[in-house]
Amino acid sequence: MNDKHLYIPYGLIIEKQWWDGCGPKQKPQFVIGGLISLGLATVIFLLVHVIIGLAVGIFGILATVALVSKQDKTNLSMIDYIGLMIRKNKEQQNFLYKYKDDYGIM
């Protein structure tokens, strides 16, 4: 009998990407994250201190890029991964127990 092995490739990228992990689907997420971080940086800039506001703005934009861009092997971003974990934890879990009377108590 001739055994044929099934090869399932992983990490295939179907959509167009500007650079590794970033494409047109991530553009709204980048824009929203950038606007939120710049808004927060502006408020801190005006109320607290110039340097702290600048640091918050730069850190917010870098954090947005890190959270939104997709990873190499899994083709998932951190936001996608967190969403999958939340969805998995909300699902009903089935625990199939078998009763065994090992000690003869019942």
pLDDT confidence of residue 87: 93
Kindly state whether residue 15 falls inside one of the protein's structural domains.
no
- The yes-or-no verdict on residue 11 having pLDDT over 80 is no
- The yes-or-no verdict on residue 86 having pLDDT over 90 is yes
Kindly state whether residue 95 falls inside one of the protein's structural domains.
no
Kindly state whether residue 94 falls inside one of the protein's structural domains.
no
Say if CB 70 and CB 15 are below 8 A apart. no
Least Cα distance to 60 among 95, 30, 26 occurs for 30
Kindly state whether residue 74 falls inside one of the protein's structural domains.
yes
Structure tokens at 81: 């991964």
For the chain, the domain total comes to 1
Say if CB 21 and CB 72 are below 8 A apart. yes
- The yes-or-no verdict on residue 2 having pLDDT over 80 is no
Kindly state whether residue 2 falls inside one of the protein's structural domains.
no
pLDDT confidence of residue 1: 56
Question: How many Å apart are CA 14 and CA 57, to the nearest integer?
Answer: 33
- The yes-or-no verdict on residue 103 having pLDDT over 70 is yes
Q: Which amino acid is at 33?
A: G
Q: How confident is the model at residue 106 (pLDDT cuts 50, 70, 90)?
A: low
DSSP-derived letter for residue 71 is P
DSSP-derived letter for residue 92 is P
pLDDT tens-place string over residues 22-77: 778 888 888 888 899 889 889 988 888 889 888 888 998 888 888 888 776 777 88
By residue range, what is the domain housing residue 36?
24-86
Find where tokens 């640091």 sit.
55
Kindly state whether residue 96 falls inside one of the protein's structural domains.
no
Kindly state whether residue 69 falls inside one of the protein's structural domains.
yes
